[in-house]
Amino acid sequence: MKTIGIIPARYASTRFPAKPLAILGGKTVIQRVYEQVSGVLDEALVATDDERIFRAVESFGGKVCMTSTSHRSGTDRIREAYENLGEHYDVVVNIQGDEPFIQHSQIKTVVSCFQDPATQIATLVKPFTEADGWEALVNPNSPKVVVDKDMRALYFSRSVIPYLRGVEQSQWLSRHTFYKHIGLYAYRSDTLMEITRLEQSSLELAESLEQLRWLQNGYVIKVGVSDIETIGIDTPEDLLRAEEFLKRIKK
């Protein structure tokens, strides 16, 4: 199975402009993401809409391509980058450009989901633990996932799902395994072409979760499980937390 990881990286982020070029432990965020991906897949590529990011990736020896500034999502940017390659890959992995601590094991887990021939899309989850606490579980910025017996996604929600009827909320985390969604995706290449042509769906608009468009249109999303907590960088405050995390893991 031939695989490629494509890292969408745009300059104009509302909450953190120029985020891919922010410095984390002496390197840009985009370089750290690229280095985490390199070596685990057959190829790695940054897809950007900005010359400054393009030059930064070239400067550290990474592979990069320019894409349109008009894309609605990272998935659309990945499709353009993949089409421009002119080379076939069986599986395309969407590596978030703000996840500098993504682990090889997580990428391997999501790719292994395609051993199931029914899998069209794959993603990752992490079980919530009792130590995470109720506030983490109810956080709407941390989408939850419910799965079937074959670990295929049934639904994603910003609300807590499932609802445990007749159980005190203080006991929910001890009585059921809730899954936190980790935003790492992979697609069969033909599926990538299809899903980027879909119109936004009613569930996607309701929850502001792109993956609900795919589910609502009948695509099979296989779910892999990881016990690793990732640290995404959405704001300058997140970058400070990432710096502290980097110092801890280097000790």
pLDDT band at 247 (very low <50, low <70, confident <90, very high): confident
Looking at the chain, the whole-number percentage of residues with pLDDT higher than 90 is 81
Q: What is the mean pLDDT of residues 17-28?
A: 94
State the span(s) of the chain assigned CATH 3.90.550.10. Answer: 1-100, 103-229
Q: Say which residues have a Cβ less than 8 Å from residue 176's Cβ, sequence separation at least 6.
A: 162, 164
Does the pLDDT of residue 41 top 90, yes or no? Answer: yes
| Annotation: CATH topology of 103-229 | Spore Coat Polysaccharide Biosynthesis Protein SpsA; Chain A (3.90.550)
For residue 178, give the nearest of 159, 205, 150 by alpha carbon.
Answer: 159
Does the pLDDT of residue 94 top 90, yes or no? Answer: yes
**Which pLDDT tens digit goes with each residue over 45-59?**
999 999 999 999 999
pLDDT band at 22 (very low <50, low <70, confident <90, very high): very high
What's the mean pLDDT when you consider all of the chain?
94
Does the pLDDT of residue 87 top 70, yes or no? Answer: yes
Does the pLDDT of residue 251 top 70, yes or no? Answer: no
Does the pLDDT of residue 14 top 80, yes or no? Answer: no
**Which pLDDT tens digit goes with each residue over 210-243?**
999 999 999 999 999 999 877 788 888 989 989 9
For the domain 1-100, what is the CATH code? 3.90.550.10
**Which pLDDT tens digit goes with each residue over 168-195?**
999 999 999 999 999 899 999 999 999 9
Higher pLDDT, 96 or 212: 212
pTM, entire model: 0.91
Does the pLDDT of residue 250 top 80, yes or no? Answer: no
